[in-house]
Amino acid sequence: MNYDIAIIGAGCIGSAIAHRLAKYELKTILLDKEADVAMGTSKANSGIIHQGYFTAKGSLKESLCLRGSQMFNELCPQLDVPFKRTGALFCATNENELKTLQGELQHSQERNVQVELIEDREKIQKLEPLLKDTVIAVLHFP
């Protein structure tokens, strides 16, 4: 059989390329040494959909993280793939770390990323009961 395009590797990148090329009238084949997609490095990653926090303002990485995060909201329903945002917490245990979180809060708000800084110990415990008592604040990305 003849193909217009052969994609080697059925991980995140190879599968994304195959998905995009499916919109065109091209004979495409996706090849991988494993029996199923995403069985190599893609399977072993942490599964975090990075929203661009703690990235340099205006950087390519920031732009790609923001767009990639948004794409999950669009693609998962189209592909009938279950997806649940569970959020992220960044903790501060001292004033220097708190200043870092405050800087990221401002940076995230400028990019319209949903985020909140929580300094109330009771609210912190309610959000994550297993955090140590030394945590004085959390930056919460829902």
Q: In the prediction, which pLDDT does 49 show? A: 84
Q: In the prediction, which pLDDT does 38 show? A: 87
Q: What is the rounded CA–CA span in Å between residue 73 and residue 79?
A: 11
Instruction: Please provide the distance, in angstroms rounded to a whole number, between the alpha carbons at the two ends of the chain.
Output: 48
* Annotated domain spans of the chain: 1-45
Q: What is the rounded CA–CA span in Å between residue 14 and residue 29?
A: 10
Q: In the prediction, which pLDDT does 50 show? A: 82
Helix, coil or strand: residue 131: coil
pLDDT less than 70: residues of the chain: none
> What is the chain's alpha carbon radius of gyration, rounded to the nearest angstrom?
20
Closest C-alpha to 87, from 129, 116, 44, 126: 116
In the set 19, 50, 107, 140, the catalytic residue is 50
Q: In the prediction, which pLDDT does 132 show? A: 95
Q: In the prediction, which pLDDT does 37 show? A: 87
Q: Please confirm, yes or no, whether 50 is among the known catalytic residues.
A: yes
